């Protein structure tokens, strides 16, 4: 099966810009399962439940939030999230090359490779 890119962007150094696509270098061999109703084999749905109000809530009542302290969140509207995404820079600027032993291994957790884009 052909690799599917997970993103695109640009690598820049000096006046040179190269369009690229990013691919995951390794794939998990982990098996994932779906939860099914035993009687009919249909996938079950999750309900969005608010424990404070003790009721199921509709998707229209849901907002996205980022936890910055225990039980404290900053929330974002869909419009705010779209604006943040529009401001995101998808360019990778190469500032310098360093010897491998100077790179903290914490950055090796996820391996990706880059390929040319059209």
- Express each pLDDT in 31-50 by its tens digit: 788 999 999 999 999 899 99
> What structural domains and CATH numbers belong to the chain?
7-116 (2.40.290.10)
20 exposed, middle or buried (CB, 10 Å; 0-12, 13-18, 19+)?
A: buried
How many whole angstroms from its chain centre is CA 71? 23
Of the pLDDT bands very low, low, confident and very high (cuts 50, 70, 90), residue 102 is: very high
Q: Is the entire prediction scored with pTM above 0.75?
A: no
Of 95, 117, 118, 89, residue with least CA distance to 22: 117
């Amino acid at each position: 099966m052909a690799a599917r890119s997970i993103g695109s962007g640009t690598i820049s150094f000096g006046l040179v810009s190269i369009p690229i696509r990013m691919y995951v270098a390794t794939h998990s061999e982990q098996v994932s399962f779906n939860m099914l109703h035993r009687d009919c084999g249909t996938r079950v749905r999750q309900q969005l439940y608010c424990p404070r109000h003790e009721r199921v809530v509709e998707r229209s009542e849901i907002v996205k939030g980022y936890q910055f302290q225990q039980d404290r969140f900053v929330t974002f509207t869909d419009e705010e999230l779209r604006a943040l995404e529009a401001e995101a820079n998808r360019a990778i600027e190469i500032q310098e090359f360093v010897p491998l032993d100077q790179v903290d291994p914490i950055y090796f957790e996820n391996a990706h490779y880059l390929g040319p884009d059209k």
